[in-house]
Amino acid sequence: MVGGGQLARMTHEAGIPLGIKFKLLSDTPQDSAAQVAGEVVIGDYRDLDTLRAFARGCDVITFDHEHVPTEHLRALEADGIPVRPGPDALVHAQDKGVMRAKLDEIGAPSPRHRIVADAADAVAFAEEGDGFPIILKTVRGGYDGKGVWFVRTPEDARDPFLAGVPVLAEEKVDFVRELAANIVRSPHGQAVAYPVVESRQVDGVCDTVIAPAPDLDEELAGRAQELALRIAKELGVVGHLAVELFQTTDGRILVNELAMRPHNSGHWTQDGAITSQFANHVRAVLDLPLGDPRPRARWTVMCNVLGGDYPDMYQGYLHCMARDPQLKIHMYGKDVKPGRKVGHVNTYGDDLDEVLERARHAADYLRGTIVE
Amino acid sequence: MVGGGQLARMTHEAGIPLGIKFKLLSDTPQDSAAQVAGEVVIGDYRDLDTLRAFARGCDVITFDHEHVPTEHLRALEADGIPVRPGPDALVHAQDKGVMRAKLDEIGAPSPRHRIVADAADAVAFAEEGDGFPIILKTVRGGYDGKGVWFVRTPEDARDPFLAGVPVLAEEKVDFVRELAANIVRSPHGQAVAYPVVESRQVDGVCDTVIAPAPDLDEELAGRAQELALRIAKELGVVGHLAVELFQTTDGRILVNELAMRPHNSGHWTQDGAITSQFANHVRAVLDLPLGDPRPRARWTVMCNVLGGDYPDMYQGYLHCMARDPQLKIHMYGKDVKPGRKVGHVNTYGDDLDEVLERARHAADYLRGTIVE
């Protein structure tokens, strides 16, 4: 697996029971996954020689992030190393321009959008629709709200072009909430769909995920799952695919983002589904039959734990574990910086309000925003 | 953790979500846990200098097995390193003579027993009761049926004395089945009890565990749990304690063996309980509040996977995973030798017969004793 973040850490954890040999390419020995994995190579995934040397002897390569250059992935394939998801699929998660063009081609619903050349063109894009606000995004390199601008005026429209990266303009969608349709697909085309979840963001960062999405119309949920399965098939995705969606005020679903790896909106599956997204990602990458994606509880809630003012998150364990013996804490071993994702908690049960309260309390307590 | 076997492997897996730093002392880099852990020291736990160097900087030491010499554990404690379970507790799992004496002292029910000096004394022990057969056990060093003799005649009674280790004689108990009462206890005395399970042995090796034990009288189950909790308290156990029990034909429960570490009879908790034995062992050792031990399914069944004629267990995955998408495979990364424990499977559901069949089929298929 290329990339030493928490997704690799949790993928390693999920792979241990399969008795597989997991090898990691990590930037530093302190990275989240590098702390806990057996075979770790330290190196830069942007360097082709490093990547090639790492891949030698691997049966298959997969990723913790989408940042490996497409041409490097093609070079690995040329070396005879299976890359899953492959470069032809992954480019849609790497480049938002390519992604939108492909979604249009296969008739998947997107917000109104087009590539814009400069600030004046962004203003023109706004005027082609309902005017400002609009969203501007660099086509590559963004995550967790970075590389995304909420643009209210022509003046606001200048910043996104400073980096020299192509910029995609999108309408500001009137949505009632954000959903995620997560599926896993294997090389021979087997696929499983997790229940559609509600994803609540704070400042552009995922904060809470509720599985399944409360009060979601069954027909709409089915449509969202079918959409994710169709996108995976048309794009040739192997492994976990997260399709982040807007549920609009007028009852439509529109694709917001795609991620081709385990995803924050699927962390609930570790404790709430029969087979976790991480276990199924590993199975798909190894071309093994996929595990049952159904939920094990009526409701499962995930809350991210962000870094706060305490450098040591560990001190909160006593209170949180004593208060809620069913609580599942997942920490990533990362240095605490204010606002940084350093872990998450999962809770489950029959009463959504109670399950939400337990998760919220634990996440806030671990961060230090509440003290009792 | 001292010892690189599968118990350490699965303890590491369970510790990853807590963000703790796990350090392993393993005999070889190929040991089950050494393959998947981040910080591994290769060395011999029987060598005090090795053990001391390993322990330096650790907040606490725990074990994958009971074989570390008691005097070494006392030396670590003298160095200021907390050892959990401590040597005063662990000696009862290391020495069956000490264990029986202590159980007698606290009034815990054992089979009739005494230390015997030689074969003639073993014959005398038999004649003090109902005659042969009797059981002879070396007080130290046995596991999985090794170091245990089923003795039918005076001639059979000679072998156990050849090793020069003290020998314990026990009556052959008329039991209807074997049970295990598993509990976890923390240093400040909090304890949780898992449901009492039925454990089926084949050739002295655990084969199948059913949780909870079917048709077990509630009063008897409560008595077994209370017995395990009392033993843990009286012996000062910290961490997971497995109390292996005989359920006798006349409705009593008698203590067979004690294990102070995660135990084969608790593997079902990985997929069948809210908190696994491994996660709770880690919590106890770190003196954190314990997690909820209650089951998540009506029935959970564990079957051990023994090595068969296939050197590569991996080829069975395709069939087993395709046949049962809910199946949980746990392989240990060990070289396959006929009869060696190389993994286990867990299944769960509402219908015990069906759950048993699914587990049995998978374990047999992976071993290679069935091919369809």
A17 and chain B in contact, CB less than 8 A: yes
Domain termination site, one of B120, B145, B171: B171
| Contact criterion met (CB < 8 Å) for A17 and B13 | yes
Instruction: Tell me: do A316 and A184 sit in the same domain.
Output: yes
Q: Which residues pair with B344 in a beta bridge?
A: B304, B330
User: Could you give the CA distance from residue B329 to residue B331 in angstroms, rounded to a whole number?
Assistant: 6
- Output the six-digit token pair for A53: 């040397």
CA–CA separation, A20 and B329 (whole Å)? 12
**Nearest Cβ partner for A288 among B10, B13, B318:** B318
Tens-digit pLDDT profile for residues B177-189: 999 999 999 999 9
Pair (B277, B314) in one structural domain: yes
Last residue of a domain, one of A62, A83, A104: A83
Degrees (nearest 5) of the Cα angle B261, B263, B268?
A: 135
Nearest to A289 among B10, B275, B322 (CB): B322
Is A173 annotated among the ligand-binding residues?
yes
pLDDT at position A143 over 70: no
- Residues A153, A181: one domain? no
**CATH number of the domain bearing residue B39:** 3.40.50.20
> How confident is the model at residue A142, as a pLDDT?
66
Q: Is the peptide bond before A87 cis (omega within 30 degrees of 0)?
A: no
- Whether B52 and B138 share a structural domain: no
Phi, psi of B229 (to 5 degrees): -65, -40
B173 is in an annotated binding site: yes
Q: How close does chain B come to A321, measured CA to CA in Å? A: 6
Say whether pLDDT at A141 is over 90.
Answer: no
B43 and B180 co-located in one domain: no
3-state SS assignment for residue A366? helix
Which of A34, A290, A317 is nearest residue B288 as measured by Cβ atoms?
A317
Hey, are the CB atoms on B325 and A289 less than 8 Å from each other? Answer: yes
Examine the domain organization and report whether B267 and B308 are in the same domain.
yes
* Chain A interface includes B317 (CB < 8 A): yes
Enumerate residue ranges in chain B where pLDDT < 50: none
Q: Which of A73, A104, A105 is nearest to A90 (CA)?
A: A73
User: Is B104 within a domain?
Assistant: no
Band (A147; pLDDT cuts 50, 70, 90): confident
Nearest CA in chain B to A344: B17
Chain B CB within 8 Å of residue A321 CB: yes
Which helix (DSSP H) or strand (DSSP E) does residue A12 occupy?
A: helix A6-15
Contacts of B315 in chain A (CB under 8 A): none
Residue A55 falls inside a structural domain? yes
| Interchain CB distance below 8 Å, A325 and B275 | yes
Tally of structural domains, chain B: 3
Rounded (5°) CA angle A46-A50-A51: 70
Is B326 in the A-facing interface, judged by CB distances under 8 Å? yes
Residue A201 pLDDT exceeds 80: yes
In-domain check, residue B99: no
Instruction: Please check whether residue B265 lies inside any domain of the structure.
Output: yes
Say whether A323 sits in a helix, a strand or coil.
helix
Same domain, A51 and A194: no
Both A52 and A133 in one domain: the answer is: no
Confirm whether residue B171 is marked as ligand binding: yes
B363 and B233 both lie in a single domain? yes
How many distinct helices (H) and strands (E) make up chain A?
11, 15
Tens of pLDDT along A6-46? 999 999 999 999 999 999 999 999 999 999 999 999 999 99
Instruction: Please check the confidence at residue A146 and state whether its pLDDT lies above 80.
Output: no
Q: Identify the H or E element spanning A239.
A: strand A239-248
Residue indicated by tokens 């599926």: A183
C-beta pairs of A358-363 under 8 Å, 24+ apart in sequence: A358/A301, A358/A324, A358/A326, A358/A327, A359/A208, A359/A301, A359/A302, A359/A303, A360/A208, A360/A303, A361/A320, A361/A323, A361/A324, A362/A303, A362/A305, A362/A320, A362/A323, A362/A324, A362/A327, A362/A329, A363/A303, A363/A304, A363/A305, A363/A306
* Nearest-angstrom CA–CA distance, B194 and B197: 8
Q: Which CATH number goes with the domain that contains A140? A: 3.30.1490.20
CATH number of the structural domain spanning residue B344: 3.30.470.20
Domain boundary among B171, B195, B214: B171
Q: Count other Cβ atoms within 10 Å, centred on residue A99.
A: 23
A167 and A208 fall within a common domain? no
Q: In the beta sheet, which residues pair with residue B2?
A: B25, B63
> Residues A163, A136: contact at Cβ < 8 Å?
no
Same domain (yes/no): A73, A144: no
Q: Report if residue B100 sits inside a domain.
A: no
- Side-chain-facing half-sphere of A271: CA atoms under 13 Å: 25
Residue A306 placed within a domain:
yes
A313–B contact, CB cutoff 8 A: yes
User: Are A19 and A150 found together in one domain?
Assistant: no
pLDDT above 70 (res A288): yes
Nearest CA distance, B31 vs chain A (angstrom): 12
- ipTM > 0.90, yes or no: yes
How many Cα atoms sit within 13 Å of B181 on the Cβ side?
A: 25
The boundaries of the domain holding residue B360 are 175-367
More confident residue, B60 or A140: B60
pLDDT mean over A252-278: 97
Flag if A329 and B18 touch (Cβ within 8 Å).
yes
Q: Residue A214, preceding bond cis, omega within 30 degrees?
A: no
Within-domain flag for B89: no
Chosen from A22, A36, A39 to mutate, greatest number of chain B CBs within 10 A: A36
Write out chain A residues lying below 8 Å of B21, CB-based: 35, 333
Q: Is residue B372 included in any domain, yes or no? A: no
